[in-house]
Amino acid sequence: MSKKIILLPGDGIGPEIVAEAKKVLDVVNSQFNLDLTFDSDLIGGCAIDQHGVPLAQSTLDKCKAADAVLMGSVGGPKWDALDSSIRPEKGLLKIRYEMGLYANLRPAILYPQLAEASSLKTELVAGLDILIVRELTGGIYFGEPRGIRVLENGERQGYNTYVYAEHEIERIGRTAFDMAMLRNKKVCSVDKANVLEATVLWREVMERLAPEYPEVELTHMYVDNAAMQLVRAPKQFDVIVTGNMFGDILSDTAAMLTGSIGMLPSSSMDANNKGLFEPVHGSAPDIAGLGIANPLATILSAAMMLRYSLQATDAADAIERAVGEVLDDGLRSADIYQDGMKKASTSEMGDAVVAKLQA
């Protein structure tokens, strides 16, 4: 039965990197008889230009009806001055929320070929393999009430609400424990339970789940300490599970440990493993159109899509292997370039992955 994929290239370098991922998907589609069909649509700034909103209802409906969504990135200076209600980022937040994509997996894996690119000493990061499980449809990102109000004295006050209901904590906790069972069986739950009641409950629910996973070791860490430990001794972590905002911040830190945010894929999935897949990095407007962006995070996101939403494990393995071989050959986009390597453009990187798949 054919599977429908919606491509949402978005803004900035998005179209360039999604084009490379599509090349790769076309190859595995025929090699592995996946019967994938593709359609594409707008999200972010380009959608604002076309429809006046960062995510049109017709786009959302299309994505809901599809089997998976592969996204590039959204945003750029052109739309920065817009009212916060229609900024490009709102399109991304809306699609996550409306599709119920609460489970965000952000692996931070250090490719041995890139160990030198890390900002930390090689011995601290060699072999690094962390999975950040970030809650994506709740917490302070979506909590109500929110806004900017005028106080009696005329001063303005900004406010947001940090909320988590038990069922929201429980389901992301299960994702983390399930993932740990497939890995090194350690979950570190990150909270701020010394200050925030919402995370006192978070910790309690994680503890309640733990007996269901007797093989998994559950620990807790305050977010400030977690930020410190990630740069002090990152290899102590296996799976980190945390709320929306802490996950946003810690995943950027974890990404940098690996040398380049340009290498990291992510998946955001609902309860049925239907999902949206996107690189962890942003739209990089400063290099858009120059043909120098690293397409590997998007290509690896396509592999995650095949693995988690489309049950095409062999195709996913093949893509990941091909990416490793391209790095072995010394090919590097500008963001991961080092002396002695071969500098490759966006399309040269994509073509090289394709060539490895066809070899």
* Residue 351 within binding range of ligand IPM, rule CB under 6 A: no
Query: Minimum Å distance from CB 358 to Mg ion?
Result: 35
Helix segments in 76-196, DSSP class H? 88-98, 122-125, 166-181
* Residue 348 within binding range of ligand IPM, rule CB under 6 A: no
* Residue 95 within binding range of ligand IPM, rule CB under 6 A: no
User: Residues 96-135: x/- map of binding to ligand IPM (CB under 6 A)?
Assistant: ----------------------------------------
* Residue 256 within binding range of ligand IPM, rule CB under 6 A: no
Q: Is 224 annotated in the active site?
A: yes
C-beta of 89 vs 217, nearer to ligand IPM = 89
Q: Check 102, 111, 141, 213 and give the catalytic one.
A: 141
* Residue 68 within binding range of ligand IPM, rule CB under 6 A: no
User: Residues 231-270: x/- map of binding to Mg ion (CB under 5 A)?
Assistant: -----------------x----------------------
Q: Is 192 annotated in the active site?
A: yes
Rounded Cα gap, residues 92 and 266, in angstroms: 14
**List 135, 238, 248, 320, residue binding ligand IPM (CB under 6 A):** 248
Contacts with Mg ion, residue ranges (CB under 5 A): 248
Return residues touching ligand IPM (CB under 6 A).
Answer: 89, 92-93, 248
- What residues are annotated to the active site? 141, 192, 224, 248, 252
